[in-house]
Structure 1
Amino acid sequence: MEHSTIPEENDKYKIDDSKVDGSKSQPRSYRVEALAKGLRLLSFFTAETPTLRVKELVELSGIPMPTTFRLVATLEEEGYLERTIDGQVRPGTSVLALGFAAVQGMDLVQTSDPNMRDLHARTAETVNLGVLYSDQVLFVARIPRRDGVLSDAIRVGSTVPAVFSSIGKVILAGMSEDELHRTISQTSFAGRWGPNAVRTMDELLEQLSSARSDGYLLQQESAIPGLSSIAAPIRQSGKGIVAAINVAVPTAEYTRKKLLDKILEPLLVASREITLRLGGSIQY
């Protein structure tokens, strides 16, 4: 009696890579060449080369100009690249979002969490943790003030130019002069920010000098009108300053003296404890 063969339930998902002529099966490639080329373009952006011209991407990748132009246009539309004011391109917010997903698993965020919560409990104010991404600060953790008085413009995954952020300035203060000038250019000061925002390298250098000597930086209405903040550095073993933590408050509720009297000491305690947990050294 002839029996029919009943296919297994998952047979329809199996792929037969054998050739009709019976020769040895060859592995099938599932590579999507256009996607690979787009990812290759993104790989050329580094901390040392945060922006590139399309012509430079052509030279680096060996991909023809028409193809590169289309890839860049597509990556721009999807938010993975963005244009600078001088026509160059740099990684966009979608890349930052992917980076943030990776950052969430970093030791820095996990290690800082209990200290951030303690700082928030002691001050009842918004606590932020940020790292440097090119000439921007990327906010990787945040515990907001409960009454929602502060602007929602800053969220986890948001970026702010480092020259306008207390977190950014504290991190920049740990750089050598050469490294600072490679990171910050005149375009870093572009845009409309707070009324007390620095606008020149000389003004920035003056604030960085104070941050180095004081061990913290206090600013009022530099990044956002109506917002004041005070930041302190976080150091990691073998890497120097890798991040900074700040407390942000409504300017209307805090004079400079009140910020120093109420917020500075618990902020410094948090930054020192996170630094020690990361194996960094405390500098007084």
Structure 2
Amino acid sequence: MSDKRESVSSPAGARVTATAKALRVLDCFTPTQPELSLAQISRILNMPKSTLLNQLRTLEEAGFLGKSPENQTYRLGHKIMELSYCAHAAMPVIQYAVPVMEDLQVSTGEIIYLTSHIGGQVFYLECVYPSRRSVAYSVSGKTLPMHCTGCGKAMLSQMPTEQVEAIIQKHGLPSFTQNTITDHDALMEQLAVCRRRGYALDNEEETMGVKCVAMAIRTSRGDVAGALSISGSTLSIRNENIPQYAELLSRACNALSPYARMMPAILYQNQNTL
């Protein structure tokens, strides 16, 4: 009897292992390392090149990886882009959010971002740019640390202290600019200020020359689902405009609150452990 169970379960176990290995390969690619050689992937995964090569060929044949004919490096393939588009289209909150974001953009003349949080990081869902600005890439799917962005700090300020501490423990407080808050106590003090006034500021903390005002979006139960931000240059977002922007954000976040349960932080709550 035991032999029969092993013969039935082994192929399934093998398939799970193969799937896990394939997913680990795909997870090697990042915005800062969009192309990787066989040697680099082997080093990242601590996997022999001979074993890895079969995985790479399978993923390439299925369209999940592409291979450069010039330098033989690998990159994410067209199938990933197709799935990314499907995932974006499957978030119904965006269809409700975009009109609100467009109104906010017209009122301020600045860039408007809609974000959520996944795994203790800011997850960008959508943005609305001024019509005068040409855009060469989509921000959807981009992730950033929470401590150095307006949206991230807005969400952190509304989370329980133990959740904030867990996020800091996992991701640390890396520096991006000379203005990034890298001290634990200083960050906690700023989050307390954000909590009192209801909005967060990013004062060139992730990118020099960029400033933003952000506010958290919460569900009817009070769970932090995401954030909206007004982002622009330090010349265009002036201190005297911030109270007005905060009021506009408050109205927009209230308008999106009924749809907050459709945001990734809530939809994937079982997987979103931070």
Asked whether the 8 Å contact 1:135–1:188 carries over to 2, the reply is no
| Shift of residue 111, structure 1, vs aligned partner | 2.3
Using the alignment, how far apart are the partners of 1:133 and 1:31 within structure 2? 28
| SS in structure 1 at match of 2:213 | strand
Spell out the pairing of 1:199-238 with structure 2 (5 A cutoff). Answer: 199-238=182-221
Scaled by the length of structure 2, the TM-score of the pair is 0.64
Looking at structure 1, the residues matched to 141 and 199 of structure 2 have their Cα atoms a distance apart, in angstroms, of 23
* CA RMSD, Structure 1 to Structure 2 (Å): 4.1
- TM-superposed CA distance for 1:259, in Å, is 2.9
Q: What whole-Å deviation, never above 9, does each CA across 1:244-279 have from its counterpart, x for those lacking one? A: 000001102232122333x22222111111114447
Task: Report the 3-state secondary structure (helix = DSSP H, G, I; strand = E; otherwise coil) of the residue aligned with 2:235.
Answer: helix
In the alignment, the residues of structure 2 paired with residue 99 and residue 132 of structure 1 have an alpha-carbon distance, to the nearest angstrom, of 17
| Contact preservation (8 Å) 1:111, 1:278 | no
Whole-Å Cα distance in 2 between the matches of residues 211 and 153 of structure 1?
Answer: 31
Match for residue 140 of structure 1 among 108, 125, 147: 125
Aligned to 1:162: 146
**Runs of 5+ unmatched residues, structure 2:** 1-10, 26-46, 65-75, 263-274
Match of 1:87 in 2: none
Q: Which amino acid aligns with 1:236?
A: T
1-structure distance, mates of 2:177, 2:86: 29
State the aligned residue count. 214
Q: Is the 8 A contact 2:124 2:140 kept in 1?
A: yes
- Mapped to 1, the partners of 2:149 and 2:169 lie a distance apart of 16
Equivalent residue, structure 2, for 1:245: 228
Tell me the amino acid that sits aligned with residue 250 of structure 2.
L
Q: Which amino acid aligns with 1:212?
A: R
Of 229, 246, 271, which residue of structure 2 is paired with 1:264?
246
Does the 8 Å CA contact 1:186/1:200 hold for their aligned counterparts?
Answer: no
Contact 1:219 1:228 in 2 (8 A): yes
Cross-structure match for 1:84: none
1:164 partner SS: coil
Paired residue secondary structure (2:181): coil
CA contact (8 A) 1:100 1:140 kept: no
After superposition, where does 1:117-196 map in structure 2 within 5 Å?
Answer: 117-148=102-133, 155-185=139-169, 187-191=171-175, 193-196=176-179
- Tell me the CA shift for residue 205 of structure 1: 0.8
Q: What corresponds to 2:268 in structure 1?
A: none
Q: Name the structure with the higher helix share.
A: 2
The separation in 2 between residues aligned to 1:153 and 1:209, in whole angstroms, is 35
Cα distance in 2 between the residues matched to 1:162 and 1:112: 21
Question: Residues of 1 paired with 2:85 and 2:177: CA distance?
Answer: 26
Higher relative contact order, structure no. (Cα contacts within 8 Å, ≥ 6 residues apart): 2
Matches within 5 A, 1:19-98: 33=15, 35-38=18-21, 70=52
TM-score by length of 1: 0.62
| Structure 1 outlier segments of 4+, above 6 Å | 29-32, 151-154
Task: Spell out, residue by residue over 1:46-87, the C-alpha distance to the aligned partner (whole angstroms, 9 max, x if none).
Answer: xxxxxxxxxxxxxxxxxxx879x959x96xx99x9xxxxxxx
The amino acid across from 1:204 in the alignment is L
Task: Work out which of the two has the higher radius of gyration on C-alpha atoms and give 1 or 2.
Answer: 1
